[in-house]
Amino acid sequence: MQEQAPLKVLTVQEVAQVLKTDREKVEKLIASGRLPAMVLPGQEVRIRAEDLLTFLKNETAQYTELKRKYHSYQQERLEKLERALQQLKIIPEKLNHGLQGELNRAAGDYSRVLELKEVFEDIYKLTRRILKTQQRVESRKSSDHDDYFQQLEIEWQEWEREIEKWQDRFLTRAKKAGKKLNFGLAQVYQNLVQILINEWDKIRKENF
């Protein structure tokens, strides 16, 4: 009967070389139980080659699954960001719609129409800001996937701050109108704030 070859065992340093890492990280793997090891009578630690191979197979499988989940999440998040940034155009549309009733009531009242002109100009500026964002998104679609994803995240974070700025802008204008005893214009701006908040919340709830 042919004698079996002795089982190959490796030192911690040899395992570190195989894994292309340092000794300390290998010792942490052993301490955590992820990498089985045996302690020789002289307190020397050895790792069976068979256990190292099993560890590599398991870790590779886990890494592959984590990578798949990450890419799946990233793709889902990217699609949500694209959709949310596209839906921003709904905000000025709703603001204009809300303002249209005021304009209809002001028919024939020239001074009232002039007051509302300022409001339309604000909404127009917001519209232009949104269009520029959407143009940037379109122009970056051909970029590297990770770079494109990062740019979308930046655009969304900027809009988190941008909406707060527009909310403050409308409230400031409402206070200014109120001080001039122009309560009609003050109410218009307060209504715009409510529309802005409602539509922004709707976009976030629908996508995130």
Q: Is the separation of the CB atoms in 48 and 7 below 8 Å?
A: yes
Classify each residue of 29-45 as buried b or exposed e, where b means 16 or more C-beta atoms within 10 Å of its C-beta: bbeeeebebeeeeeeeb
At 125, is the secondary structure helix, strand, or coil? helix
**In terms of pTM, does the model score above 0.75?**
no
pLDDT of residue 7: 55
Instruction: Find where tokens 């079996």 sit.
Output: 4
pLDDT digits (tens, 9 = 90+) for 82-133: 999 999 999 999 999 999 888 888 777 878 888 898 899 999 999 999 999 9
pLDDT of residue 161: 96
| Mean pLDDT of all residues belonging to the chain | 90
Q: Give, as one character, the DSSP assignment of residue 4.
A: P
pLDDT digits (tens, 9 = 90+) for 182-207: 999 999 999 999 999 999 999 999 99
User: What fold, for 9-66?
Assistant: Multidrug-efflux Transporter Regulator; Chain: A; Domain 2 (1.10.1660)
- Delimit the domains of the chain by residue range: 9-66, 88-207
pLDDT of residue 3: 44
Number of neighbouring beta carbons within 10 Å of residue 47: 23
Is 2's pLDDT higher than 80? no
Amino acid found at 167 = Q
Q: How far, in Å, CA of 133 to CA of 187, rounded?
A: 29
pLDDT digits (tens, 9 = 90+) for 160-172: 999 999 999 999 9
Between the CA of residue 108 and those of 19, 111, 184, what are the distances in Å?
A: 81, 9, 16
Q: How far, in Å, CA of 108 to CA of 66, rounded?
A: 66
Between the CA of residue 151 and those of 9, 129, 146, what are the distances in Å?
A: 49, 16, 9
pLDDT of residue 41: 84
Confidence at 138, pLDDT banded by 50, 70, 90: very high
pLDDT of residue 180: 92
Number of neighbouring beta carbons within 10 Å of residue 96: 16
pLDDT digits (tens, 9 = 90+) for 14-51: 999 888 889 999 999 999 999 999 998 888 899 998 89
**Nearest CA to 10 among 42, 41, 52, 43?**
52
